[in-house]
Structures are given as structure tokens and as C-alpha cells.
Homo-oligomer: A and B are copies of this chain.
Amino acid sequence: MIDIVRLDENNKSYYVENLKNRAEAVQRDVIISVENILDDVRQNGDIALIKYTNKFDSENINSQNVKVTVDEIKKAYEVVDKKFIDAIKLAKENIWFYHEKQKQKAWMTTKEDGIILGQQVRALESVGIYVPGGTAAYPSSVLMNTIPAKVAGVRKVVMVTPPSEDGSINPNILVAADIAKVDEIYKAGGAQAVAALAYGTESIPKVDKIVGPGNIYVAMAKRSVYGFVDIDMIAGPSEILVIADKTGDAKYIAADLMSQAEHDILASSILVTTSQELAKKVKEELEKQVQCLERKDIILSSLKNYGGIIVVDNIKEAIEMANIIAPEHLEVMVDEPFLLLGEIKNAGSIFLGKYSPEPLGDYIAGPNHVLPTSGSAKFFSPLSVDDYIKKSSFIYYSQQGLAKVKDEVVTIAETEGLTAHANSIKVRFQ
């Protein structure tokens, strides 16, 4: 199911490439079909939105019932497990606590001659959250996408999610949305829902930014409306990398690798260890534990194609491997995990020590579980309050302040051939 290999110069880049290659090549016909849906909804609003919803999701949706009612939410509370509600409430509290620390402050600074420079920080006015339907409907994702927006101060959070064939929405999703304080929920999915959020229709309000995962149509639609509205990063298949020395616990490591592998057959789970013995034990544990797991087939498939147990000579090599792969999740199961924090450059979220398994971070710990995948931790960050704010700079110059730099402004303006720029300085000193 999974091989143990010793890292060498020949296989070093294999893992990086293998992970990158999981991303689907986007077909031209998908691009064209998404562009057509976007154009249609932009021009025809609700008529187009409802047409595609009826075609792809449910024939029971019309512009009268596309918005989820208070009554539907009330009914959802009646059918979901009480323990689940309490767990979601605890998750909300912890996620709120962590994201509060991310809030940024406006600042200003003064210079000679009374010059004042600064930067304002403002929440976006409205945000749209895409929540996939079917088996990929995760209540925890509703919390993770909504709470940082609310912490930032976003006044209107609008959720869209494709309805089931009968026109209903998963009650767990509705309850999570309500606890996270989503303001409006609409039964729409696919490129048509993205279009509605980007351009607005009679039913669905236009928002400033669209976030949340989705299939290739949703991802392409988001990419296409980028600039007209803002979007979050584009999520790819999930991955975990575990770094362990001989103190690592094989049972825990195997369980954590499989918790990632169960997501889908493209998920990647890799252990990099300095201990050949631990490598062997983890392999045994994987073979043993997988037998009792519901999603055994998915786990075996993703371990086979994108899993790996890599033995390295020392921890430095393991860290280097992590920095090259830039995993979404990085577990550090070594004797003194904090001592390695300074060396880790590229990772979405870092889990330190034996009792910080990745699923803890998915649900309850507080940091966001929306993380950069497929090596994009080299340039993307976890979803955060930063994603729901925007900044403005401000400049105040006094007459003396401007007088001192006027020649330099004029020189650069004239070099660039922008003589009206130069004129705007000159008129002030005539």
C-alpha cells in the first residue's frame, strides 16, 4: 500500500512534482461553458440563475424560495444532534478567540514640516461564502469562512450552497451558518451562484468578495470574476506532511496520515522520519488501522498514489523536504518541536507535538482550516481576518513639506513624460 524509501538526490523532486501534478488540467470547454454561464447570469439575473439551478440541482427552486427562511433554519435545529450543536458552539468560540488576535490597527506617522502619513483599515462591506453541497458539505467550513469575516467587521455575509434534488439544504450546514451568524443563505451553486454573487441578481445581492471551496466550475468562475470582485485563493487537493524522529508514536502518526488520506483519492499523506524503525512501525500501523476505517478504499488509493514514508539522515533534511513541499498541514512529532519552528518556512498550518493532531485544527483549536494547498504555502496564507479587510493610505503635506520636494516630483514626472503631473506641482508655487 505504501513504500518506505530512503531520500536521495534521485527521488527528492519526485514528491514535489507528484503533489503539484494532482491539480486537474482545466479543459478549454470548461472555461467556455463557465464564461457562458457568467455572461448569462450577468445579463439575465434571476431568470438565468434559476434556469441553471433547475437544470443542475433541483427543479423545485424558483425566485420565491431561493432564499432560506427563518423557518427553515428553525426546523434544521430540530433535526440535528444536540451534541453537534454544542460542539459547533465550542468551535465557534475558539475560532473567534484566535482570529481576534489577527485584527490589524490603523496607524499614522508624522515627519518634519508637519507631514502626516498613515494607513486606514476597514472591513469589507459584504462577502459571499460558497459552500459545496452533497458529501462535501462541511459545517466546519461554514465556521472557518464566516467567523473571520465577522471578526473583521463585515456587515453582510451571504452564503450560497446548491440544494439537494428535493430543494432542501443539509440541516447541519444551516445550523452551523446560523451559529456563525451568516446573514443570508441562498439555494444556488456552481458557476451560476458565483455569477450571482459577483454581479447581483434580483434575489441575490452582489458582494465585494467571494470565498469558499467548490468544484472545477466554481473555481473557474471565481477565477474569472476576480478583479470585478475579490476572491480567496483557489483550493486544490489536501495534504499532510509529518516530520518525526525516533520519539514519534507510530500509532498516532498512522492515524493522522489516514485522517488526511480519507479526504479524497487525490489527498497526499507523507511521513518524513529519521528513524527506519519508526518508518516500519508506521507502515504496520497503517495496514492494521485501515482495516477498521469506513473510508478504507479512498485511504488506500490516496496512500498508494500520493502517500510516502521517507527516511532521511537527519532532521535538517526532513525540514528541507517540508520547505520544498510546502504542505498544507505539517505535523512536527519530535522531541522538542518548538525548536524547529524557526527553520520551517513553508507550511499552511504547523501542528507541534504528540497531542496536536491535524483533525484538532480542522475543527476545534481555533486557527483557520482553510489553508494553502499543492505547494502554494510558499506564497499563500491561511484564510484570516486579513482576507476581509482592506486598507487605504493617506497623505498630508504642508506647503513647506511640498516645497522641499517639488523639484524632485517635477523631475520624475517630466522624465516619465507626464507633464500635467509636473504642472500640478508647479501651479502651487507660481
Within residues 339 to 389 of chain A, which ones have a CB less than 8 A from any CB in chain B? Answer: 341, 344-368, 372, 376-382, 384, 386, 389
A415 within 8 A of B: yes
Q: How far is the CB of A101 from chain B (nearest CB, A)?
A: 6
B351 touching A262 by the CB < 8 A rule? Answer: no
In the bound complex, residues from chain B placing their C-beta under 8 Å from that of A125 are 345, 378
Within residues 23 to 71 of chain A, which ones have a CB less than 8 A from any CB in chain B? Answer: 23, 28, 31-32, 35
Known contacts A262-B420, A379-B208, A408-B91, A234 near B223 by CB under 8 Å: no
In the bound complex, residues from chain B placing their C-beta under 8 Å from that of A427 are 251-252, 255, 289
**A125 CA / B119 CA spacing, docked (Å):** 26
B379 touching A230 by the CB < 8 A rule? Answer: yes
A77 within 8 A of B: no
B344 touching A379 by the CB < 8 A rule? Answer: no
Per-residue B-contact encoding for A131-154, CB less than 8 Å = 1, 0 else: 000010011100000000000000
In the bound complex, residues from chain B placing their C-beta under 8 Å from that of A405 are 90, 360, 364
Contact of A84 among B31, B295, B411, B417 (CB under 8 A): B411
B392 touching A360 by the CB < 8 A rule? Answer: no
A384 touching B391 by the CB < 8 A rule? Answer: yes
A88 within 8 A of B: yes
Per-residue B-contact encoding for A284-322, CB less than 8 Å = 1, 0 else: 000001001111000100000000000000000000000
B415 touching A84 by the CB < 8 A rule? Answer: yes
In the bound complex, residues from chain B placing their C-beta under 8 Å from that of A415 are 81, 84, 87, 139, 172
| Number of residues of chain A lying within 8 A (CB) of chain B | 131
Contact of A117 among B124, B365, B398, B421 (CB under 8 A): B365
B378 touching A124 by the CB < 8 A rule? Answer: yes
B379 touching A229 by the CB < 8 A rule? Answer: yes
Q: How far is the CB of A214 from chain B (nearest CB, A)?
A: 13
A76 within 8 A of B: no
**A102 CA / B107 CA spacing, docked (Å):** 9
A399 touching B208 by the CB < 8 A rule? Answer: no
**A421 CA / B407 CA spacing, docked (Å):** 65
Contact of A381 among B372, B391, B417 (CB under 8 A): B391
**A256 CA / B208 CA spacing, docked (Å):** 29
**A233 CA / B294 CA spacing, docked (Å):** 43
**A295 CA / B345 CA spacing, docked (Å):** 49
In the bound complex, residues from chain B placing their C-beta under 8 Å from that of A228 are 23
Contact of A376 among B227, B345, B391, B398 (CB under 8 A): B227
List 11 other contacts, CB 8 Å, given A223-B223, A292-B423: A83-B411, A88-B412, A122-B345, A125-B345, A209-B379, A255-B423, A255-B427, A349-B395, A357-B428, A372-B390, A381-B391
Q: How far is the CB of A320 from chain B (nearest CB, A)?
A: 13
Instruction: Specify the chain B residue showing the minimal Cβ separation from A25.
Output: B39
A424 touching B363 by the CB < 8 A rule? Answer: no
Known contacts A345-B122, A408-B90, A415-B84, A397 near B356 by CB under 8 Å: yes
- Chain B CB within 10 Å — which of A227, A263, A413 has the most? A227
